[in-house]
Amino acid sequence: MLHTNLSRLLASGGPKRLISTVNKLTTVEVNDKTGIAILTMNRPPVNGLNLELLQDLKSSIDEIEGNKSRGLILTSSSPTIFSAGLDILEMYKPDMDRCRAFWSQLQETWLALYGSSVPTAAAINGHSPAGGCLLATSCEYRVMVPKFTIGLNETQLGMIAPQWFMSAFLSVLPQREAERALNQGRMFTTEEALRVGLIDETANSKEEAIEKCAAFIGTFAKVNPLARSLTKQQFRAADLQQLKNGRKEDLEKFLFTVSQPALQKGLGIYLEGLKKKVKKQ
């Protein structure tokens, strides 16, 4: 009951204090009463994860870790897109120095989110392909609004999701389901995602999704925070360590992949398809 009241207060726009607007592409709002932080991505039109958005996400996660928030809810300011995943323009005809910085920052941001010491939840208020799905599955709980899609569609772009994308996916889905979905590059509707367990709940609006995420975070109210966070870290240690140990190799594989002419050709066609779709409407 207490948890429900806290989450209602948060969602109803109860007393809120804007702790930070420092970052250009993210905001952090911490509710004074509940202590839960809402981290909002705000890079129109689709929250494409470019170097700057990844940097802002990392610095917002650090801020939430540092200000003793009781939990983190990740969401988007767009009414229809949670995140379109990696900004393809970071990988298409890339400047290799920037590309290196981009992938290193993606690694850094993922380590911070997946390894966060506070309870994390994603209020998925729009489409969430690829890198968007990675962000959502790196959180501990997911609530999604109907009529959107989520999944790791890398194979559809002729790309291979790295091992750590798979780790986050596998922390949510059974191996058989995860393997099939990844091989197919399958995008799940909200209803399908609920059925397979890729999301935990559905909600009719962003506000309700945030309320449900807050209720999840509220379930830890009476649990010793240090015991909870060390337990979470033990569960995730092997996945985190695997990337930490292989960061350099992972970066080199990425740079090699994006420098392949066949991949560049495929990305060009994919981008063209996205743009043609816009013109048709």
Ligand X SMILES: CCCCCCCCCC/C=C/CC(=O)SCCNC(=O)CCNC(=O)[C@H](O)C(C)(C)COP(=O)(O)OP(=O)(O)OC[C@H]1O[C@@H](n2cnc3c(N)ncnc32)[C@H](O)[C@@H]1OP(=O)(O)O
Residues recognised as catalytic: 86, 131, 153-154
Annotate each residue in 66-105 with x if it binds ligand X (CB under 6 A) or - if it does not, as one string: --------------xx--xxxxxx----------------
Biggest CA–CA distance in the chain, Å, is 58
Find the binding residues for ligand X in span 234-253 (CB under 6 A).
253
**Which residue of this chain has its Cβ atom nearest to ligand X in the complex?**
85
Report how far residue 57's alpha carbon sits from residue 60's, in angstroms, rounded to the nearest whole number. 5
Which position among 160, 223, 230, 237 is part of the footprint of ligand X (CB under 6 A)? 160
Nearest distance from residue 222's CB to ligand X, in Å? 38
Residues near ligand X (CB under 6 A), total = 28
Nearest to 189 by CA among 126, 255, 140: 126
Q: Is the CB of 50 or the CB of 69 nearer to ligand X? A: 50
Nearest to 229 by CA among 117, 140, 144, 151: 117
Q: What's the Cα-to-Cα distance from 108 to each of 51, 88, 176, 181, rounded to whole Å?
A: 11, 19, 28, 26
Report how far residue 243's alpha carbon sits from residue 143's, in angstroms, rounded to the nearest whole number. 27
Which position among 71, 119, 151, 162 is part of the footprint of ligand X (CB under 6 A)? 162
Nearest distance from residue 66's CB to ligand X, in Å? 28
Q: Which helix (H) or strand (E) holds 41?
A: strand 36-41
* Residues within the interface to ligand X (CB under 6 A): 45-46, 48, 80-81, 84-89, 127, 129-131, 153-154, 157, 159-160, 162, 253-254, 257, 274-275, 277-278
